[in-house]
Amino acid sequence: MARPRKPLLSRERIVEAARVIVDAEGLAAVSTRRLAAELGVSGPSLYNHFRTKDEILEAVADSVSAQVDLSMFDTADGRDWRTALHDWAVSYRAALTLHPNIVPVLARGPGRRPAGLRLADTMFGAMVDAGWPAAQATSIGALMRYFIMGSALGSFAGGFVDDETAYDPSAYPHLGQAHLLADRQQLIDDRAFETGLTALLDGLTLQYEALRHERARTVRGAPRRS
């Protein structure tokens, strides 16, 4: 009998199957037994590619990090640091919004995950190249990560029920329209993210300009060489 052209199992197939389960049912639904059944293989065959379930989830997380666009940080792209940071944040959130159940794994940090490390390295390098000191570039990376991942962990608008009788006006006099929020969840959440992102970038821009002025004063005050 001729051997199949492609192996029955691969890391990519395992990761894709696990990602489908995580997206649909959450992290707790993933098990090696469940994956083996979904892939039509025996359980031990998974261990030829991954030693543990945690390694599989780490790979799923990295596959999501790989979906984030980094092209805006390319020096040939031409975008200034603020525009690049904005566009990167939008791409990052879009990837997490498609796969919100994997965010708790991503929130642990990149660890040894290649795509996650490439994401952190590229963003940090772009900020340093733009003139940010390394320490502040690190803080910017942490700040953006907190903000983006926090926005993907849940929906503010989706946290309200669509029952107009749910919020007693005597107890909550300012929530008379709150029952309408759930129906407009995506619009409200997108607008909130953009509002917060703009506020963050406005603040960083002020810091950046202050840094430039301080550097200019230092240069002007330096003694001239004879």
What's the DSSP call for residue 159?
G
Q: Which two tokens stand for residue 132?
A: 């940010």
Q: Between 213 and 219, where is the model more confident?
A: 213
Residue 62 pLDDT exceeds 90: yes
Q: Sign of torsion, CA 121 127 129 131?
A: negative
Residue 3 pLDDT exceeds 60: no
In this structure, the number of other CB atoms found within 10 A of the CB of residue 171 comes to 7
User: What structural domains and CATH numbers belong to the chain?
Assistant: 11-63 (1.10.10.60), 68-221 (1.10.357.10)
Lowest mean pLDDT among 38-42, 81-85, 129-133, 219-223: 219-223
Closest C-alpha to 59, from 111, 1, 133: 111
CA triple 60-61-67, angle to 5 deg: 95
Q: Which two tokens stand for residue 145?
A: 């990560």
Q: What is the dihedral of CA 121, 123, 125, 126, to 10 degrees?
A: 160
